[in-house]
Structure 1
Amino acid sequence: MPGVIVDCAIYRNGSRTDGPEDFSDALDEARATGDAFLWIGLHEPSEKEFSLVTSEFGLHPLAVEDALTAHQRPKLEVYDDSLFMVLKPATYEPESDTVTTGELMVFIGDSFVVTVRHGEAASLSVVRSRLESEPEVMKHGPTAVLYAVSDAVVDHYIDVAAELQSDLEEVEAEVFAPTSDTRASERSATAQTTAARIYNFKRQVLEFRRATGPLSTPMQKLSGAAVPFVDAGSQPFFRDVNDHLAHANEMVEGLDRLLTDVLSAHLAQMGVRQNDDMRKISAWAAMAAVPTLVAGIYGMNFQHMPELRWTWGYPAVIAFMLVVVTGLHRTFKRRGWL
C-alpha cells in the first residue's frame, strides 16, 4: 500500500494535523472528534490493495468496481454510505497535437474523502497544497475537497481548449495560405498531410469532448438541489464551476464546428486544384490532337491526293499545325487553363 497511497492526512478545523499512520485508526480518530475528516489519495490501486480501503470506508461494490476498472464517463452517483463522482482531467501536448485524458474518482462520506486517480493527467498535489493554504475553505470538510478538485479539473479544461484554439489557428492559416508554384505531386503530398492533420485534430477534439460534455449533468446536480454528503451551502461554489464548465463546452463546440468548416474548405480547395490540373491536361491534349489529326490524315493511302505533289505542301501543312496549336495555346492561356 505505501506505493499506492500518494498522501493520507487528517484535517481538523481546516488545518492538516498529524495522525495515526494506519488510515483505519486515522478514520476512527477523525470521526471521534467530529470536526475533522480524513483525505486519502490513491494512484492506480489493484483490487487487493483497494479492498482494504473498501472494507474500512464502507464503499459500495459498484462504485469500487468503477474505480478499479476505470474507463468511465464523468458521472455522479449517490449510495447509502458515500457519494461517488468521476471526472476526466485532460492535458494537451502541443508538439504531438495530442489530448490525453486521465480518470479521477472521488468518494466522500462521513468524515472521509478518498480520491483514486488513473493516469498522469490527474495529479492532485497542487490541489491539496492550495487547499492546505486556505484553511477557511478546508473547514467545510469533504465538500471543500470535492469542490476544489472539480474546480481544478474544469479550469484546466479551459486552458486545454485555449491551446487547441491556438493550434487550430495555425492549421487554418496553413489551409488558406496562397498556393505556391510547386509541382502537382508536391502539392498533392502537402494536401494529404494537411488533411491528415485536420482529421487527427478532430479526433483530439472528440476525445476532449468526451471529458467535458458528460460532466455537465453532475455539476448541475451539485449546483442545484441538495445532494447527500455535500454541504448545503456549497451550491454557489458548484454553480461557479458549472459556469466555467459551460464556457469550456462552448469552446469545444466552437472548435468542432470550426474544424468541420476548415476540413470542408480544404477538401473544396483540393477539388479546385484537381480541376485546374484537369483543365491543363485537357488543354495540352487538345493542342496535341490537331497535329495528330492532320498527320493521321496524311498517313492514309489515298488514290487521289492532289496536294501530295505540291512543292509547298509539306511546309504548308507544318505551318498550318503550328498556327492552330499557337492559337489554341494563346486561347487557353488567356482563359487561365495553362
Structure 2
Amino acid sequence: MLKTHDAVEERVECVVLVNPSKAELMQAQRRFNVHPLIVGDVLGRRQQPKFERFDEHLYVSLWDLNREGDDLSGVDTDLALIFNARELLLIQRGPDHGLRDLDALVGASGPVSAPASIAAVYRVLNAVVMDFVELGAEIEHDLEDLEAEVFNSRVREDYSRIYRLRQRIGRIDRAARGLAEALQSGQDAIQTATATAPSMQPYLLHLEHDANGVSELAAAEHLSLDAVVSSHESNVATRQNKDMRTISAFAALLAIPTVLAGLYGMNFKNLPLIDWEYGWVAVAVVVVATDLLAYMLFRHRGWLGGPQQTRHDGD
C-alpha cells in the first residue's frame, strides 16, 4: 500500500509504503532512483539493522517490535528509511496489527528547526527507541514480580511466564542492540545526513545512547533471569525430593506391618506369642506402636509435613 505526502516541507517529497508488493517497490525504485542493493535488502526481509550510504541516498533499516498485549509475540515489523535532502521513502513491512502510524510521525513537528527529511527520520527513530525504553522498563517490573514469586515458598511459580519473559528480553535486546550498532557504525553517514543541520547531531547521538542503554539493561535482565531460572529449577528439585521423601515415609509405614504379618504368616511353631490366646493382640499393639513411633520420627524430620518441613527441605 502506497501513501504519498505532498511534502513534509515544500522542498521534500515523502512516500510511505506499507507492505508493498514487488511491483510497488520497483516503481518506487524508478521514482527515487534507489540503489538496487537497497531494494534487494527490502525484498529479502529481516535484514540486520544498518545505516549506510548508497550514492545520493542514505539508508537506515531497523526492527520495530510488534507488541501484542503484554508480550512481544509474533513477527516484528521491518522499517526501511531511504532519504536525501529532497526525498524521503519509508517502507514498513509486518502484520497489520503491529504497524506504526508513520503518517502521524512524518507530519509531526520536529524538536529543532532542520531540513524535513532528517527531522522526519529522527522522529521515526525516536518513536521506535522510546518504545524500546518503555518496554525495557516494563520488563524490569515484571522481572521484580517474578523474582518475588520464585522466592516465595507459598507460591508455585509459573514456568511458562519465565519462558515468555526470556523471549521478550531477547527480542528487545536484539532490536535495541542492532539499532545501536547501526547508528554507531553509520557515523560517516550521519555526518553526511546532518551536514546541513548540525543541530540534529546531538539528537541522533542521544538516540544511540538510549538504544545502547536499553541493550545493556536487557543484558542485565538476562543475567537476573538466569538467576531466577536457577532458583526455579532448585525449587522444582526441592519439591521432587520432598515428594520422594513423603512417598518413602509412607512406604516405610506400610512395610512395618507387612513384614510382621509376613513373619507370623509362616508355618513355624516357635514364633513368639504364637501359642498365646491373646498373642495376636500383642502383635497388633507392637505393629501400631512401631508405626506410631516411625510416624512421629518422619513427622519430626518433616518428611510428612509439619513445622520442621522447611528446615529439612535441604537435607
Q: TM-score, normalised by structure 2?
A: 0.86
Query: Residues 175 and 262 of structure 1 are in contact (CA less than 8 Å); yes or no, is this contact kept in structure 2?
Result: yes
Q: In 2, Cα distance between the equivalents of 1:122 and 1:60?
A: 25
Aligned to 1:72, the other structure's residue is in SS state: coil
1:146 aligns to what? 121
Aligned to 1:41, the other structure's residue is in SS state: strand
Deviation string, structure 1 residues 130-175 (Cα, Å, up to 9, x no partner): 2xx34853x3242222222222211111011122223333333333
Count matched residues. 298
The one-letter amino acid of 2:2's match is I
Query: Residues 71 and 164 of structure 2 are in contact (CA less than 8 Å); yes or no, is this contact kept in structure 1?
Result: no
Q: In 2, Cα distance between the equivalents of 1:205 and 1:148?
A: 25
1:87 aligns to what? 62
2:218 aligns to what? 252
Query: Residues 173 and 214 of structure 2 are in contact (CA less than 8 Å); yes or no, is this contact kept in structure 1?
Result: no
Query: Residues 221 and 227 of structure 1 are in contact (CA less than 8 Å); yes or no, is this contact kept in structure 2?
Result: no
Q: In 2, Cα distance between the equivalents of 1:99 and 1:166?
A: 22
1:28 aligns to what? none
Return closer, same or farther for 1:78/1:228 CA change in 2, 3 Å cut-off.
Answer: farther
Q: CA deviation at 1:59?
A: 0.9
- Asked whether 1:62 is paired with 2:37, we answer yes
1:24 aligns to what? none
- Asked whether 1:167 is paired with 2:164, we answer no
Unmatched tracts of structure 2, length 5 or more: 305-315
Q: In 2, Cα distance between the equivalents of 1:143 and 1:280?
A: 69
Q: In 2, Cα distance between the equivalents of 1:228 and 1:237?
A: 12
Aligned to 2:46, the other structure's residue is in SS state: coil
**Aligned pairs (5 A) from 1:316-335:** 316-335=282-301
2:307 aligns to what? none
Unmatched tracts of structure 1, length 5 or more: 18-35, 181-189
Q: In 2, Cα distance between the equivalents of 1:105 and 1:258?
A: 34
| Greater mean deviation of Cα atoms: 160-169 or 314-323 | 160-169
1:241 pairs, out of 199, 204, 207, with 207
Q: CA deviation at 1:101?
A: 2.4
Q: CA RMSD in A?
A: 2.3
1:215 aligns to what? 179
1:6 aligns to what? 3
Q: In 1, Cα distance between the equivalents of 2:207 and 2:111?
A: 20
Q: CA deviation at 1:327?
A: 0.7
Q: CA deviation at 1:268?
A: 0.8
Q: CA deviation at 1:272?
A: 0.7
2:259 pairs, out of 293, 312, 322, with 293
Misfit runs of 4+, over 6 Å: none
1:231 pairs, out of 169, 176, 194, with 194
Q: CA deviation at 1:235?
A: 2.8
Q: In 1, Cα distance between the equivalents of 2:110 and 2:103?
A: 15
2:82 aligns to what? 107
Q: In 1, Cα distance between the equivalents of 2:12 and 2:256?
A: 93
Q: In 2, Cα distance between the equivalents of 1:241 and 1:227?
A: 12
Q: CA deviation at 1:97?
A: 6.1
Return closer, same or farther for 1:77/1:302 CA change in 2, 3 Å cut-off.
Answer: same
Q: In 1, Cα distance between the equivalents of 2:220 and 2:111?
A: 38
The one-letter amino acid of 1:310's match is W
Q: In 1, Cα distance between the equivalents of 2:240 and 2:111?
A: 66
Q: In 1, Cα distance between the equivalents of 2:4 and 2:213?
A: 32
1:127 pairs, out of 79, 84, 105, with 105
Return closer, same or farther for 1:261/1:226 CA change in 2, 3 Å cut-off.
Answer: same
Q: CA deviation at 1:248?
A: 1.1
1:74 aligns to what? 49
**Aligned pairs (5 A) from 1:179-198:** 179=154, 194-198=158-162
Return closer, same or farther for 1:244/1:97 CA change in 2, 3 Å cut-off.
Answer: closer
Q: In 2, Cα distance between the equivalents of 1:118 and 1:203?
A: 22
Q: CA deviation at 1:226?
A: 5.6
User: Identical aligned pairs, as a percentage?
Assistant: 29
Query: Residues 75 and 86 of structure 1 are in contact (CA less than 8 Å); yes or no, is this contact kept in structure 2?
Result: yes
Query: Residues 43 and 118 of structure 1 are in contact (CA less than 8 Å); yes or no, is this contact kept in structure 2?
Result: yes
Q: In 2, Cα distance between the equivalents of 1:259 and 1:94?
A: 21
| Greater mean deviation of Cα atoms: 309-318 or 65-74 | 65-74
Q: CA deviation at 1:271?
A: 0.9
Aligned to 2:7, the other structure's residue is in SS state: strand
Q: In 1, Cα distance between the equivalents of 2:162 and 2:261?
A: 51
